[in-house]
Structure 1
Amino acid sequence: MLKYFLLFLLVSGHAVAQQLPVIQEVKFKKDTFNIVRYGGKADGITLNTMFIQQAIDACNKSGGGTVLIPAGLWVTGPLMLKSNVNLHVATGAVLQFSNNPDDYPLVKTNWEGLDAIRAHSPIYAVDAENIAITGKGLLDGAGEAWRPVKKNKLTPPEWNALVSSGGFLNESKDTWYPTARALKGSLEKRPGVIAEGYDLQKAETIKEFLRPNMVNIVRCKRVLFEGVTFQNSPAWCLHPLLTQHLTLRDITVRNPWNAQNGDGVDIESCRYVLVENSSFDVGDDGICIKSGRDEEGRKRGVPTEDVIVRNCTVFHGHGGFVVGSEMSGGARNLFVYDCNFLGTDIGIRFKTTRGRGGVVEKVYIRNIRMNNIGGAAILFDMYYMAKDPLTMFAGADAPSIAFEPVTDATPQFRDIHIKNVACKAAETAIFVRGLPEMNIQGIEMENISIRSKKGFVCIEGDNITLKNATLHCDEKTVVNVQNSRNLVLDKIRFNPSDVFINVTGERSQNIRLLNTDVKNAVKESVLGANVPKDVVRK
């Protein structure tokens, strides 16, 4: 029977004991298989794929143990991990994956929640049990051989040097691709997706566009990544899919800040996961929860659940802790605490859009420290447009707010609890934007302290509580509410402002202002047209 720890959280003002799952650990035989014995050479030239794979295969056939990558520079192509194998990358070892796309065959796999053809991941495991990557060494995915680069993410000298090195530019001359096939893929509709008619032969014509995730773990049980550094991934760095009992401990994940799709870890449709004492400095989302995309994700119907994230730091990325946008199978029982998000575009980020479906619920976040957040410190957004998250805070056009029918493709965010958050600098403190037909609902935020340019924005929210919060914002309106109801603002502190709360939208109702001294505001409230005069009550 699975054991649990208890974590006490404050929910609706009451102490509630939440069960924290205990993730099962790996265990290996003491036998060691040194790749040198199989012909491996650490000369930075020899392609060691065959030698390392032979060691992995021999270890697996003998019942398991450790495959040792000793100190040195080891060049290799893609590797297949197998059951009961601990791939140990020793101190001083660099496992450098080849930058030759010809070394990576195309395979049927999964990309952003869809069945797709992609290049073989540098490290891949499927239907394996009791596997690990450990040690103090470094794994480099040679991502520069695959990734496109946007002109606006380089300095002029860097851009000129990149273009002069070879490669191909798109028609507008603002994005560089490493090969003609990569450029061709950028022009295709859903490139590589099997539902679009792609098979291995057709995918070959756009191969370099079909960038692999660096480490892809599929339908595995009892997995450990510990101590190692993963860097320079072609796409997502770590991608566990449909995997149970996964532990990421004391790892470092690094990608260039401008790496497209350069996520740190994307935990997709997994159960019993622990991410602890690790750091992420990446080009996209840092620690991300996913569960499939749109109809295919709903058909799979496997949520990500029973996840613990603790004592982690994200230095750069589009989001620190992120749920979505591919969350069509749902997510629940997520526990995130004692983490730092320092320099990310968004701090705590929940994102989805119409068509996804899925329910995200029972999420508990506490003790989060943030600084230099380019967008919102806390964000819930149901209009995700797959764009740079900072564009929504730079005068981008607001989306349509027309009602649409509620179906199984309508996403939901609910029953989410955030406590003890401190943020020194952000563009926006809290941003909530639900759908007219499906409000974001049941969000509790308590003990929040944020210094930002904009304060609290709530659009299409229902049953949202902000309690014991300090909002020091530059904008002269602290709280902006649009078409939201059952909003509770309890014990809010703020610096001198023109207006404490501005309410618009004829569907706004039942906003309660409790234990809050509004003397710092010239006006307590400003109401838009068709807003009931008694919408704000004390």
Structure 2
Amino acid sequence: MKDLFDVKEFGAVGDGISIDTRAIQHAIDACHEAGGGYVVLAGGTFVSGTIFLRSNVYLQVNPSATLLANPDIGDYPDGTHYNRYVNEKDMDKCFIYAEDAENIGVVGQGEINGNAESFPNLGSIYRPMMMRFLRCRNIHVKGLRLYNSTAWTTAFLDSENIWCEGLDIRNDKRYNGDGLDYDGCKNVFISNCKILGTDDNLCLQASSKDFPMKMSISAIAISPRYAQLSESD
């Protein structure tokens, strides 16, 4: 059974110029249909718009790779839920998205770069979040450098069993520079993460009484320049 899916085998170029969205998504879909495994980015800079994760798929960004957000907002379709907080519709779009999925992850020792300076495009309000997970289970985000998101770095919504480990988050280029945001999640574990942002580095919320917050924190380093923990009921 094949469980490693190299995006270059699906047509990705990784030259920092070519748009690899379709090739990466094709690899994710093929991995999911095969029963799951790892979709691997290695040896290059892969430019992509919205990526939809599927159950049993781990997106692995190797140390030799960067996943770079496409500066063209046209590569970020609808269908990625929305930012559920008022007066922030400009963050409805998303770079990496999963909905009603389980056993998923974004892992590796590589870099995911949100290309913050490129948004919003002329004539558009949108600044895509880096990652958003809606009603997902068993999520791992591990080992990565998450840099230059144009809005929040992560949003975990109504999800459970979440591990965020060994992350280096630098989101200090734009406003709304959040790090790890959890709303209505349970069984959340955070360890060995370093976060630099311009807003809520770690945000815990419960928008609905049906989805309370339950979590554990170990060894988070937050820059004293932006040391903010936001917690609300």
1:273-317 CA-partner distances (Å, limit 9, x unpaired): 00101100111111111223xxxxxxx433442211110101156
Question: Runs of 4 or more off by more than 6 Å in structure 1?
Answer: none
Contact 2:196-2:226 at 8 Å conserved across structures: no
User: 265, 273, 277: which is aligned to 2:192?
Assistant: 277
| 1:63, distance to aligned residue in structure 2 (A) | 0.5
**Radius of gyration: which is bigger?**
1
Aligned partner of 1:46 among 13, 18, 25? 18
Q: Secondary structure at the match of 2:230?
A: strand
Letter in 1 for 2:93: H
Conserved in 2, the CA contact under 8 Å of 1:267 and 1:289? yes
What are the ranges of 5 or more consecutive residues in structure 2 without an aligned counterpart? none
Q: SS at the partner of 1:109?
A: coil
Q: Is the 8 A contact 1:101 1:145 kept in 2?
A: no
2:214 — aligned with what?
306
Q: Counterpart amino acid of 1:54? A: H
Determine which of 127, 131, 142 is the counterpart of 2:115: 142
For the structure 1 residues 94 and 316, does the alpha-carbon distance in structure 2 shift closer, same or farther, using more than 3 Å as the test? Answer: farther
Match of 1:320 among 225, 228, 233: 228
Corresponding residue of 1:94: 66
Distance in 2, Cα, partners of 1:235 & 1:304: 24
Determine if the alignment matches structure 1 residue 124 to structure 2 residue 32.
Answer: no
The change in CA–CA distance for 1:118 and 1:305 in structure 2 (over 3 A counts) is: closer
- Compute the displacement of 1:108 (Å): 6.4
Q: Which one has the bigger strand percentage?
A: 1
The CA RMSD over aligned residues, in Å, is 2.1
Residues 1:286 and 2:201 are matched in the alignment: yes
**Unmatched 5+ stretches in structure 1:** 1-28, 148-177, 182-207, 293-299, 331-538
Give the Cα–Cα distance (whole angstroms) in 1 for the partners of residues 73 and 82 of structure 2: 19
User: Which stretch has the larger CA shift, 138-147 or 120-129?
Assistant: 138-147
State which of 79, 103, 110 in structure 1 corresponds to 2:75: 103
- Counterpart amino acid of residue 139 in structure 2: V
CA-to-aligned-CA distance 1:234-267 (integer Å, 9 cap, x gap): 21111111110000000111112x5210101111
Alpha carbons of structure 1 residues 255 and 133: separation in structure 2 relative to 1, 3 Å:
same
Partner of 2:46: 74
Contact kept? 1:219, 1:241, Cα under 8 Å: yes
Q: Would you say 1:260 and 2:175 are equivalent positions?
A: yes
Contact map agreement 2:131 2:153 (CA 8 A) in 1 = yes
* SS of match in other structure, 2:139: strand
Q: Does 1:229 align with 2:137?
A: no
Any idea what SS the aligned residue of 2:94 has?
coil
TM-score normalised according to structure 2 size: 0.92
Q: Provide the C-alpha distance between the structure 2 equivalents of 1:108 and 1:89, rounded to a whole number of angstroms.
A: 22
- How big is each residue's C-alpha offset from its partner over 1:332-387, in whole Å with a ceiling of 9 and x where there is no partner? xxxxxxxxxxxxxxxxxxxxxxxxxxxxxxxxxxxxxxxxxxxxxxxxxxxxxxxx
Question: Is 1:244 aligned to 2:160, yes or no?
Answer: yes
Kindly report which structure 2 residues correspond to 1:328-477, keeping only aligned pairs within 5 A, or say none. 330=233
Deviation at 1:93, TM superposition (A): 0.6
Report the CA distance between 1:233 and its aligned residue: 0.9
1:147-186 equivalences in 2 (<5 Å): 179=122, 181=123
Match of 1:209 in 2: 125
Residues 102/254 of structure 1: CA separation in 2 closer, same or farther (3 Å cut): same
Is the 1:109–1:116 contact (alpha carbons within 8 Å) kept by the matching residues of 2? no
CA–CA separation in structure 1 for the residues paired with 2:28 and 2:7: 9
Cα distance between partner residues in 2 of 1:108 and 1:246 = 19
The secondary structure found in structure 1 opposite 2:214 is strand
1:209 to 1:81, Cα distance in 2 relative to 1, 3 A = same
Q: In the aligned structure 2, how far is the partner of 1:136 from the partner of 1:143?
A: 21
Per the alignment, in what secondary structure is the counterpart of residue 105 of structure 1?
A: coil
Q: Which amino acid aligns with 2:205?
A: K
Q: Deviations over 1:42-96 (max 9, x none)?
A: 2111100000000000000111001011121111111000000010100121011
CA positional deviation for 1:319: 3.4
Say if 1:107 and 1:119, in contact at 8 Å, map to a contact too: no
Seen in structure 2, the aligned counterparts of structure 1 residues 259 and 112 have a Cα distance that, compared at 3 Å, is farther
Secondary structure, counterpart of 1:209 in structure 2: coil
Alpha-carbon displacement from aligned partner over 1:444-500 (angstroms, at most 9, x marks no partner): xxxxxxxxxxxxxxxxxxxxxxxxxxxxxxxxxxxxxxxxxxxxxxxxxxxxxxxxx
Distance 2:90 2:148 in 1: 21
Aligned residues: 232
Match of 2:7 among 35, 40, 43: 35
| TM-score (structure 1 length as normaliser) | 0.41
Cα distance in 2 for partners of 1:317, 1:287 equals: 14
